[in-house]
Chains A and B, each alone.
Chain A
Amino acid sequence: MTYAPSSKLLATLFMTLTFGLASGQAKALTVYTAGPGGLIKQLAAGFHEKTGIKVDVFQATTGKVMARLEAEAANPRADILISASWDTAQDLDQRGWLMPYESPNAAQVPARFKAPTYVAQGISALGIVWNTQSGTPEPRDWADLTGPQFKQVVTMPDPALSGASLDLLLGLQNAQGDAAWKLFETLRDNGMTISGPNAQALTPVLQGAKAAVFGAVDYVSYASVEKGESIKVIFPSSGTAIAPRPMMILKTARQADEARKFIDYVLSEDGQRAVADAWLMPARQDVAAKRPLFKDLALLPETSVSSASRADVLTRFGRVFGQH
């Protein structure tokens, strides 16, 4: 047995690798999702309880989720994608990446929140989140944040990372054109900082380092308010964007049947109640929400934007704020 140690080592190496491979082939459903993390855990657990199907979750920001999908295009792994930006669904649909499916549970979802290949999981809105103890006057509209009282104390989520924030950027550009860019330049000159994906922008506002977030998704803030933090969600008077969170089955899904069952589950009453509990507006109109609905908000006009102009908008935004 002169070769024992080397063969043992090789065997260990081999076993670690193959075991790793084998575990990846278990018949689980793979869901890639942008936050909220607590909601997808709830949904995965509820679905597992009901069907016995395990759900593997990759949860990150919309930008990261989409990047991973793109990077894996040659070798796709995701069955279901839940994004925080409606545009991503339109884009993937145009590329022909999506599998058509109309869930019977989607009957109660308004037409504007569904298409043959995707359907909203829930809806968030963007607003100003303001620290009530910051000593600044309560803002009512976007432009209020350009005032001297808000010098150096406004922050904004990075639209390259946060899908919902990108939707707001597009909404403002569609509604106001160059005036929107002027607004951003004024905000930059007033010392507004760009800080990571959307919830990360909230953290300095919680502690009071910043007084307000320009365009935060509301559900994260509502959850913080529920926990007892002294912040307030304000929907600007000139209008804001809502961000329906599209879920879709990828054409390359290995577990298409399970994927359809998962969509059914999320759109079931149980699933939608979980969505409402995460402080989102449920996609189904017959499930109660814990917060204002989109019908109660002043909304920016909607248009669909091509992917080229979305990239342009991001590039232009990056230039204004000197990102690399």
Chain B
Amino acid sequence: MKSLFILAGATLAALGVLVALPMIFVALQAVFPHLAEGSLQNPFGAWSATLANTATLTLVGGTLKLGLGVAAVSAAIGIPLGALRGLFKVPLARLWDALFLVPFLLPPYIAALSWTMALQPRGYLEQVAGFNLGPLLFSPAGVTLAMGLAIFPVVYFAVSRSMAATGARMADVARVFGAGPWRAFLRVTLPLALPAIAASLLLAFTLAIEEYGVPAALGSQAGVAVLTTAIERRLADWPIDLPGAALLSLVLVALALTAYAIQRAVLAGRGFETTTGKPAPLAPGKLGAWRLPVALLFGAVALIAVAAPLASMLAAAFTRHVSAGLSPSNLTLANFAALFDARGEAWEALSTSLALATGTALLAGAVGLLAAWCVAGRHVPGAAVIDGLALLPAALPGVVVGVGLILAWNQPFWPATPYGTWGILLLSYTCLLLPYPVRYVSAALSQIGANLEAAARVHGASAARALRRIVLPLVLPGLAAAMLMVFAVASRELVTSLLLAPAGVQTVSIYVWRQFEQGSVGEGMAMAAVAVAVSLTLMLAATLLRRRQTA
């Protein structure tokens, strides 16, 4: 029992440092505008001014519009494709699945900058096709589309998995009783998938309102004003406005938490028992004459959402003179060469990012495993607190975590602080990405019979030993998958890196961002290409490795 308490205590302490502390300081700063000077004067002094400000209303309105728009775009693309993929034998299905994972690897800010290079007047599209989509891109609709194209896979994967699990079996029953194919789909198949659809759309909404890079890259030209960029501006532009940044952070967290709470409520108690004891072969339907049109549809979406931004990124990376446009004589490797002779700075940024991502994967994996294990059916004191803290970051925008970490660790009273070292980046990435391992491990734990661990305990193993020898091996596949996801996202995180990276520390995202700030498009894109290639290779290697293990 003792080791159980030690583990629970350690988990709670880790979550306190990683999640609770920064959030407490955001709340404190929002309430006490003079907190940074060590004074608790004038509580709530900034509230009326900020909340009554029409700019705040504009920001909230802009954020909501963007979130709803992105959810709508994700629904329009993700639901039909997901339904087709889940219910039918789609040609090249594996390929589409793999391609729709790419948006997770391609950082959103790089996608946005690639879209700019491609669509603006005299951009690559105009050079190739003779027309441009600049007016569309630099408009609220354009920003929504750009983000929707990056976020729709969340909906696609949720819908396709949910529909594949249900299969056509239930609809077949309806058909037997006389329903037409559309009626069976609308009355049976679709309702069964509704919880998954609703949850994934709310997730798309949350991801959209938390995104910083795309609004930062496109927003000011497109007339889109959102909370994330406004918070960053108050915090990172002179003169700074700590109370304003903290207060807008609370507003953003409230929006995100509301969406998250609705998502949980939608999913709670909506589980359908669609698999019974007997294994029923789920035969996906045949498309028949629709094979080609469906394949073309998938191809078109992959072309627009995946191939176009990647091609634009590569075009910029391999171009000598931006003003000379696309032509064979303008091709060069100079941007890549420049990356690696600039006194090793690019190597340093790359290795820093990879090291930080590895550290984050290990730390988030360890804390996430412990948190999920403490919560799962064990009567540990504080289990509810552990659960809440471990999943809270799913609703925390990166910019808010950054604000919180600065406010928390930049206080003069700490005897030592990770602020000003790369440790603060590790803290921020781990906080933001903790929910991945928690969710994956919880899912895996729920499938493990309680008697296995109990048997170990009966035979004298301590809780810690049972965790290590029984639980860990069983949840390892899920944990490893989650850690890979953590690695991929951490290696490209932008906004907390910009806010928190100390002097002398650069990550890939900062390097690319600064190259663009400096007007060196080519070198920025070359670095982006290298980073995407590295994470793609690692993901593929990991997938192959796992397939070999399971085979």
Q: Which A residues have a C-beta under 8 Å from some C-beta of B?
A: 2-6, 9-10, 12-13, 16-17, 19-21, 23-24, 28, 30-32, 35-38, 41, 45, 55-68, 70-75, 77-78, 131, 133, 158, 160-161, 193-197, 199-200, 202-204, 206-209, 220, 224, 227-231, 311, 322-324
Are A77 and B503 within 8 A (Cβ)? Answer: yes
Given contacts A67-B240, A200-B517, contact A10 B10 (CB under 8 A): yes
Q: Which B residues have a C-beta under 8 Å from some C-beta of A?
A: 2-3, 6-7, 10, 14, 36-38, 55, 58-59, 116-117, 120-123, 134, 220-221, 223, 225, 230, 233, 235-240, 242, 320-325, 342-343, 345, 359, 362-363, 366, 370, 406, 410-412, 416-424, 426, 462, 464-465, 467-468, 501-504, 514-521
- Chain A positions within 8 Å of B38 at CB level: 74
Are B502 and A77 within 8 A (Cβ)? Answer: yes
Are B410 and A208 within 8 A (Cβ)? Answer: no
Closest 7 A/B residue pairs (Cβ): A20-B423, A56-B504, A199-B519, A208-B122, A66-B238, A58-B503, A209-B120
Q: Which of A2, A72, A203, A206 contacts B410 (CB 8 A)?
A: A72
Are A220 and B518 within 8 A (Cβ)? Answer: yes
For the complex formed, measure the closest distance between the CB of B465 and the CB atoms of chain A, giving whole angstroms.
Answer: 6
Are B323 and A209 within 8 A (Cβ)? Answer: no
Are A64 and B122 within 8 A (Cβ)? Answer: no
Most chain-B Cβ atoms within 10 A of its Cβ — which of A209, A228, A322? Answer: A209
Are A67 and B238 within 8 A (Cβ)? Answer: yes
Are A203 and B521 within 8 A (Cβ)? Answer: yes
* Closest residue of B by beta carbon distance from A64: B236
Are A35 and B517 within 8 A (Cβ)? Answer: yes
Most chain-A Cβ atoms within 10 A of its Cβ — which of B14, B55, B345, B502? Answer: B502
- Chain B positions within 8 Å of A160 at CB level: 233, 237-238
Given contacts A21-B416, A24-B421, contact A60 B120 (CB under 8 A): no
* Closest residue of B by beta carbon distance from A193: B221
Are A206 and B123 within 8 A (Cβ)? Answer: no
Q: Which of A12, A57, A71, A195 contacts B406 (CB 8 A)?
A: A71
Are B519 and A207 within 8 A (Cβ)? Answer: no
For the complex formed, measure the closest distance between the CB of B429 and the CB atoms of chain A, giving whole angstroms.
Answer: 12
Are B412 and A20 within 8 A (Cβ)? Answer: no
For the complex formed, measure the closest distance between the CB of B464 and the CB atoms of chain A, giving whole angstroms.
Answer: 5
Are B121 and A209 within 8 A (Cβ)? Answer: yes
Are A200 and B503 within 8 A (Cβ)? Answer: no
Are B514 and A37 within 8 A (Cβ)? Answer: yes
- Chain B positions within 8 Å of A311 at CB level: 239
Given contacts A32-B503, A60-B514, A199-B519, contact A2 B3 (CB under 8 A): yes
Measured CA separation A64–B236 after assembly (Å) = 5
Are A229 and B321 within 8 A (Cβ)? Answer: yes
Measured CA separation A220–B14 after assembly (Å) = 46
Are B503 and A199 within 8 A (Cβ)? Answer: no
Of the A-B pairs whose beta carbons lie under 8 Å apart in the complex, a sample of 29, sorted by A's number, is A3-B6, A6-B3, A10-B10, A12-B366, A20-B421, A20-B426, A21-B421, A32-B503, A38-B518, A41-B343, A58-B501, A59-B514, A60-B514, A60-B517, A63-B237, A70-B238, A71-B406, A72-B410, A131-B323, A193-B220, A200-B519, A207-B120, A207-B122, A209-B121, A220-B519, A227-B321, A228-B324, A230-B321, A230-B324
For the complex formed, measure the closest distance between the CB of A190 and the CB atoms of chain B, giving whole angstroms.
Answer: 15
Are A209 and B123 within 8 A (Cβ)? Answer: yes
- Chain A positions within 8 Å of B322 at CB level: 203, 206-207, 229
Measured CA separation A288–B237 after assembly (Å) = 35
Measured CA separation A252–B424 after assembly (Å) = 22
Measured CA separation A224–B520 after assembly (Å) = 9
- Chain B positions within 8 Å of A65 at CB level: 238
For the complex formed, measure the closest distance between the CB of B402 and the CB atoms of chain A, giving whole angstroms.
Answer: 11
Measured CA separation A3–B134 after assembly (Å) = 61
Given contacts A71-B240, A203-B521, contact A16 B123 (CB under 8 A): no
For the complex formed, measure the closest distance between the CB of A138 and the CB atoms of chain B, giving whole angstroms.
Answer: 16
Q: Which of A4, A17, A199, A322 contacts B423 (CB 8 A)?
A: A17
- Chain A positions within 8 Å of B236 at CB level: 63-64, 67-68
Most chain-B Cβ atoms within 10 A of its Cβ — which of A65, A72, A200? Answer: A200
Are A31 and B418 within 8 A (Cβ)? Answer: no
Are B235 and A23 within 8 A (Cβ)? Answer: no
Are B359 and A16 within 8 A (Cβ)? Answer: yes
Are A28 and B221 within 8 A (Cβ)? Answer: no
- Chain A positions within 8 Å of B225 at CB level: 324
- Chain A positions within 8 Å of B504 at CB level: 28, 30, 55-58
For the complex formed, measure the closest distance between the CB of B216 and the CB atoms of chain A, giving whole angstroms.
Answer: 9
Measured CA separation A4–B464 after assembly (Å) = 8
* Closest residue of A by beta carbon distance from B222: A193
Q: Which of B237, B363, B419, B426 contacts A64 (CB 8 A)?
A: B237
Measured CA separation A127–B2 after assembly (Å) = 72
